[in-house]
Amino acid sequence: MHLTAMPGAGAPTGEGRSLASRYREVRSLTEALCATLVPEDFVIQAMPDVSPTKWHLAHVSWFFETFLLKPFLPSYRPIDPRYEYLFNSYYNTVGPQFSRPNRGHLSRPTVAEVFAYRAHVDDGMAALFELANGPEFADRVELGLNHEQQHQELLLTDIKFNLSVNPLRPVFQANPSSHSTPLPPQWVRFSGGIQSIGHDGNGFSFDNEGPRHEVLLAPFQMASRLVTNAEFLEFIADGGYERPELWLSAGRASAQTQGGEAPRYWERSDDGWQNFTLGGMQPVDLAAPVCHVSYYEADAFARWAGERLPTEQEWEHAASAQPIEGNFLESGAFHPGVARSTNGAAIHLSQLYGDVWEWTGSAYLPYPGFRPLDGNLGEYNGKFVVNQMVLRGGSCVTPRSHIRASYRNFFPPDARWQFTGIRLASDG
């Protein structure tokens, strides 16, 4: 996920003690997610778009060091000044960066040295919490914590890809698959009209979630649940990957280049389709949501089904009245689950949050009135609003406290290593 963040005007300031407690919780969870790895696992970078685990661990520490410790704690001294270059991601206003595609070349610093770096930054932050306060400080801490939560998700997403290329099919965490029957699909209708979209100013938000503004929506319908693996297999069996009338031109070229005949991590076997999970190779669960598909695959499936993908405005309008509940990182499953009825509702938008990021039919563009922020942190968002599509809702590796109805994720349309899936929509 490209990082696109900055607190909104309503970001909570909180007290130092509360922020310090949340800081410790978030930082501890990041390290806990790595508990099953061996040192060799921390250094792999199996493609340019993913990063080694130890780079994630160091980069989020670099963030606190660069944007909090250096400007707010005069007594702070870096453990190694060269880390400013190694673990800068794309902040050109801060300084040069080590090449992203070559992060897997960094055998040094060692994994142990990276953990020592984290501890050094944590010690500095503990001292800073005793001294600093005020809205600017609190806003930057909130930003740093949300930034690290983004990397918790990326950490698991990248670990999955990095382990998947190993013929031994390593198990990150034993997690037996469960197979059951999904809810029958239904349509949920929305009347449309003039609706307010964007963050409302209460609590933390990333800058790309605002300004809040009005949009005019035509009546529309959204599917009550995500598209399942069984439904996607029907698309495959009907020659979906070979039918050019279903595909955008760039999408067909992308599928041919990537050798596409199924979602990422799927493999044919004598026993049927298998897929690689963080629990190792498992049979494809027909009732679970299809996952690791590109925007192009999602769009082609929607055309095949005679429907379309929802716009991000439709998705947010539909989601704004629903509670944020679902299969998130905290469940420990790290894999999409089967749709189940909630709240006793006869017709309900299940799986709206968690399980898989849902592709929308909306290009990633700034909202009306958006202006990039001044200073180094302005590089979070403004320069990425091109050649990307918006996703909504979070996934099974997104922290629960990190998601909200206005959250805008975005990826290039050919990306498949993220936990991405499909919900259908139609005109009203």
pLDDT in tens, 310-345: 999 999 999 998 999 999 999 999 999 998 765 554
> Per mean pLDDT, which range of 4-18, 213-227, 306-320, 376-390 is the poorest?
4-18
Q: Quote the pLDDT of residue 181.
A: 80
**Mean pLDDT in residue range 352-377:** 90
- C-beta separation of 263 from 290 below 8 A: yes
pLDDT band at 348 (very low <50, low <70, confident <90, very high): confident
Task: Reply yes or no on whether the pLDDT at 46 is more than 70.
Answer: yes
Phi-psi region of 175 (alpha: psi -120 to 50; beta: other; left: phi over 0): beta
% of the chain at pLDDT higher than 90: 81
Per domain, the residue ranges of the chain are: 16-164, 187-427
User: In the CATH scheme, what is the code of domain 187-427?
Assistant: 3.90.1580.10
Q: Which of 110, 9, 12 lies closest to 401 in space, CA to CA?
A: 12
- Let me know if 102 is exposed, middle or buried by CB neighbors in 10 A (0-12, 13-18, 19+): exposed
**Separation between Cα atoms, residue 25 and residue 161, nearest integer Å:** 26
**Mean pLDDT in residue range 402-423:** 97
Enumerate long-range contacts of 67-72, CB under 8 Å, 24 or more apart: 67/140, 67/143, 67/144, 67/376, 67/377, 68/125, 68/128, 68/137, 68/140, 68/141, 68/144, 69/121, 69/124, 69/125, 69/128, 72/128, 72/131, 72/132, 72/137
Q: What is the mean pLDDT of the chain?
A: 91
> Can you give the pTM of this predicted structure?
0.92
pLDDT digits (tens, 9 = 90+) for 216-258: 999 999 999 999 999 999 999 999 999 999 999 999 888 888 7
Task: Reply yes or no on whether the pLDDT at 411 is more than 60.
Answer: yes
Q: Quote the pLDDT of residue 9.
A: 30
Residue in the block written with tokens 């290039």: 412
Q: Which of 240, 208, 214, 254 lies closest to 391 in space, CA to CA?
A: 208
pLDDT digits (tens, 9 = 90+) for 119-177: 999 999 999 999 988 899 999 999 999 999 999 999 999 999 999 999 999 999 987 66
User: Which residues, other chains included, contact 295 with Cβ-Cβ below 8 Å and sequence gap of 6+?
Assistant: 251, 359, 389, 411, 413, 414, 415, 420
pLDDT band at 11 (very low <50, low <70, confident <90, very high): very low
Q: Which of 129, 20, 112 lies closest to 58 in space, CA to CA?
A: 112
CB-facing half-sphere around the CA of 24: CA atoms within 13 A:
8
**Mean pLDDT in residue range 197-207:** 94
Query: Helix or strand or coil: residue 354?
Result: strand
Query: Helix or strand or coil: residue 275?
Result: strand
